[in-house]
Chain A
């Protein structure tokens, strides 16, 4: 299992479009992917779950990846967070 903390860096935060993209990225991998925030573990493959996350600029989220392709999944999704959801 890989654990990684990411920071929201784009101005609009984790709004609907990046939420959808994250779920689409996660769906490509077999590994489980969870997002931890405010005491809740949200399954990253569930769009309705990810949409419940209010994450404004500056907030931190803990991501966990677990499965056969966890490294690839982690790399791609963390990179997407770091690019500020391509909104920078």
Chain B
């Protein structure tokens, strides 16, 4: 039988990229081009539907703006606040809205075109004005115009996407990825992004095969093409030949058998050959994932990315909405626990303010954002506390880079606790508060942090990015994003030792924990808890059952002496060979 190598060597209809989420799918392409705001002037047939889509888009825009306005009000100067208020009023402007509705009925064209045309009329008046501030005002109006059109288009393309297609796009936001997964998309292919882009992470957690960083797939494939996505090796094949089709269909069959074989691990503990038990926990991105977690035999949720609520709702949830979500989550998972990570907003995840940061990854992210927007932070803390009655919630703070941030957070939590006591609301007074270590400054001070908090979780994605000074979403430098870099291994070792010294729990919740190749090394470094996408837990169990802790420790000691990533990779791969552990991607 031919190997993958043979198949790819002789294929001219292939595009290579980065294998972002494992699996093989064959299906039809849906080419997704959303980023450019293209306004359709297509005729419509159903006026009633168009009007109701328009009203829906207004409602959604209003919801988004109200939340942004409500939270940002404290922070904004009066001028900004007035602009937001005016934008909100535009969504209720009786003259504008009745003109738009009338034109939709009369002209029977896509509402987005009419909206653009009507609002542009006013913008032109502002631009021709001799007053310079009027040009800025025209710019402010642009924002509301885009918001309405974006919501209209969402409505339009949501209803257009057929199920069971492979989505090919220049880039996918987390929100796009989620939306497509709801339409039962088979696979994802993007031009940009690396292994740890959020589209990649979400595809992995939803078990949807993905290839990212192909540079130009979206300009080569066409709507309706048949493609094969190989999420193990990072290739796509466009309009496959009979030979290629039968090869990959055979592989799919084999893969299915392997997955069935993994089922035997479901009822077994994750224990090394010499009896060391490792806690495997689940990372959760999406509410719908809880069911997968419950059946995945995870010991609990090691990371619940609460900012995903924003992606799902498209807006900020208030305290009651959050309490509702967290309580449901906590009681679904009970008696296991859930680690709720505070909103990790900023960076590539969510652009919140009007000010466009030149360097978002070094900007207002995680705890920095939360302390700047204390009101919002308090709604989350109160909601988390209110949901903690069954004592199975832990709360985790992202992007800590100074001890002061820890102290300020603890003070706010303390204040929220006192409020709740006064309000006679029950909560877990001993709730465990931990931090993510993902910034080098926190890694170096791990010992000091360990004296202040209840647990540490190492976020390898950001830690590697900041240690190596490499943008993880940039495929031009993504080869420098090295999980097995000696500096990464040594830093993890340093953090684990610090935590153990103070006897507080330490875990890894970055993508590294889900890399089956990294597992023996992490276990050897003394990590007893790994948190990963629920879909990879059985794979991890199979690996852990294949080696002795004693030997993994020796491997770690050797790797701590190594000078290069290549050397460490070699040692790790040799470990797999020596111990006869096979990796899924090598079996199929």
Contacts and interface: CB of A to CB of B under 8 A. Distances in A.
Interface string A39-62: 010010111110110101000000
Given A15-B82, A16-B86, A17-B78, A51 B137 contact: yes
Interface string A14-35: 0111011001100000000000
A51 B140 CA distance: 11
B85 interface: yes
A24 B95 CA distance: 14
B131 interface: yes
A48 B100 CA distance: 13
Contact of A16 (B82, B94, B130): B82
Contacts of B83: 16
B79 interface: yes
A48 B79 CA distance: 17
A49 B122 contact: yes
B425 interface: no
Interface in B70-85: 78-79, 82-83, 85
Contact of A54 (B79, B85, B134): B134
Q: Give the residue among B93, B129, B134, B137 with the most A Cβ atoms within 10 A.
A: B93
Given A51-B126, A52-B126, A54-B134, A20 B89 contact: yes
Given A52-B125, A52-B126, A54-B131, A45 B94 contact: yes
Nearest to A52: B125
A24 B94 CA distance: 12
Nearest to B131: A54
B62 to A, nearest CB: 14
Interface in B50-99: 78-79, 82-83, 85-86, 89-90, 93-96
Contacts of B95: 43, 45-46, 48-49
Chain A interface category by residue count: 10 to 19
B497 to A, nearest CB: 57
A48 B145 CA distance: 11
B82 A17 contact: yes
Nearest to A47: B89
B82 A48 contact: no
Nearest to A43: B95
B96 A46 contact: yes
A12 to B, nearest CB: 9
Contacts of A40: 125
Contact of B122 (A23, A24, A48): A48
Given A46-B96, A56-B131, A51 B79 contact: no
Contacts of A23: 89
Contacts of B559: none
B141 interface: yes
B86 A47 contact: yes
Contact of B86 (A19, A43, A52): A19
Interface in B140-174: 140-141
B504 interface: no
Contacts of A46: 93-96
A52 B135 CA distance: 10
Contacts of B78: 17
Contact of A48 (B85, B129, B141): B141
B334 interface: no
B292 interface: no
18 contacts: A16-B79, A16-B82, A17-B79, A19-B86, A20-B86, A20-B89, A43-B95, A46-B93, A46-B94, A48-B96, A49-B93, A49-B96, A51-B122, A51-B137, A52-B126, A52-B134, A54-B131, A54-B134
The 4 closest A-B pairs by CB, nearest first: A46-B95, A17-B82, A54-B131, A52-B125
